């Protein structure tokens, strides 16, 4: 395979950018090789607040494990 | 032939945290950023206890890229410049790069660890009454 590029006129009107952040790149020009890596960690657990409503029945606790043991 | 970038109007409001605003050509650019963002209910008093080496995210290996297939490439620039009428950028931050001009190789990396510390929503006795 042979790759041939012909660059003719390039005219851009208006570019409006709010932010270029975290190793991001805004390039007006020619480039050969570009590698952009991003590692992001926002675990959902960090949003969940501790106390959960218990799912067991009021009075007696009967779980799948318990019934298995009886049988 | 190398192309020249021509920009009529260029406005950047702010450049912060090791960001680069470059006018002209460059061959290499390797920006990197490591961030631990701590949001704590009631406010954060100190950055102690949030060291980078405590979190595996910062020493994780980069996933390997697919092997490079060697394709011979030839670029013909028929015009000696490219034009942009106006560029408006509010902010460049955290090793961000804005460049007017040619840049041969870029390898950028960012690692962001978010931590949220929330106060208990329900008091313990309140929880017991549900049980």
ipTM of the modeled complex: 0.85
User: What distance in Å separates residue A62's CA from the closest CA in chain B?
Assistant: 15
Best mutation target, A5, A19, A29, to test chain B (most B CBs within 10 A): A29
The answer to whether residue B45 neighbours chain A at the CB level (below 8 Å) is no
Q: Do A3 and B90 touch (CB under 8 A)?
A: no
Structural domain count of chain B? 1
| B57 within domain boundaries | yes
**Structural contact between residues A42 and B115, judged by C-beta atoms closer than 8 angstroms:** no
| B108 within domain boundaries | yes
| B72 within domain boundaries | no
φ, ψ dihedrals at B59, nearest 5°:
-120, 20
User: What's the pTM?
Assistant: 0.78
| B98 within domain boundaries | yes
Q: Do B60 and A39 touch (CB under 8 A)?
A: yes
Q: Do B88 and A15 touch (CB under 8 A)?
A: yes
Per-residue pLDDT, A53: 62
| B76 within domain boundaries | no
Q: What is the pLDDT of residues A13-54, one digit of tens each?
A: 999 999 999 999 999 999 999 999 999 998 776 565 555 566
Per-residue pLDDT, B118: 78
Strands (E), A22-68: 25-28, 31-41
| B48 within domain boundaries | yes
Chain B residues with CB-CB distance to A30 below 8 A: 2-3, 75, 77, 102-103
Domain hosting B110: range is 4-63+81-119
Instruction: Give the residue from A22, A20, A19, A18 showing the smallest Cα distance to A39.
Output: A22
User: Smallest Cβ distance to B90: which of A12, A19, A37?
Assistant: A19
Q: What is the pLDDT of residues B7-49, one digit of tens each?
A: 999 999 999 999 999 999 999 999 999 999 988 888 888 989 9
pLDDT confidence tier of residue A70, bands split at 50, 70 and 90: very low
User: Smallest Cβ distance to A23: which of B25, B94, B101?
Assistant: B94
| B96 within domain boundaries | yes
Alpha-carbon distances, residue B64 vs A40, A64, B112 (angstroms)? 17, 44, 20
Question: Which is more confident, B101 or A65?
Answer: B101
| B69 within domain boundaries | no
Query: Which are the contacts of B20, defined by CB distance < 8 A and separation ≥ 6?
Result: B29, B31, B92, B95, B96, B97, B98, B99
C-alpha angle with apex A16: A14 to A18, nearest 5 degrees?
Answer: 175
The answer to whether residue B14 neighbours chain A at the CB level (below 8 Å) is no
Q: What is the pLDDT of residues B112-124, one digit of tens each?
A: 999 888 777 655 5
């Amino acid at each position: 395979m042979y790759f041939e590029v012909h660059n003719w006129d390039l005219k851009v009107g208006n570019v409006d950018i709010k932010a270029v952040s975290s190793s991001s790149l805004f390039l007006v020009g020619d480039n050969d090789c570009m590698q952009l890596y991003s590692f992001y960690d926002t675990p959902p657990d960090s949003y969940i607040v501790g106390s959960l409503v218990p799912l067991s029945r009021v009075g007696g606790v009967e779980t799948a494990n318990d019934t298995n043991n009886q049988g | 032939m190398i192309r020249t970038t021509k920009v009529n109007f260029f406005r950047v409001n702010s450049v912060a945290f090791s960001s680069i605003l470059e006018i002209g050509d460059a061959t290499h650019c390797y920006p990197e950023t490591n961030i631990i963002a701590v949001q704590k209910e009631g406010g954060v008093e100190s950055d102690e206890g949030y060291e980078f080496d405590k979190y595996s995210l910062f020493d994780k290996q980069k996933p390997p890229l697919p092997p490079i297939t060697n394709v011979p490439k030839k670029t013909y620039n028929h015009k000696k410049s490219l034009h942009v009428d106006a560029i408006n950028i509010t902010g460049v931050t955290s090793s961000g790069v804005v460049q007017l001009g040619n840049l041969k190789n870029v390898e950028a990396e960012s690692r962001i660890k978010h931590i949220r510390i929330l106060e208990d929503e329900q008091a313990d006795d309140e929880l017991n009454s549900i049980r």
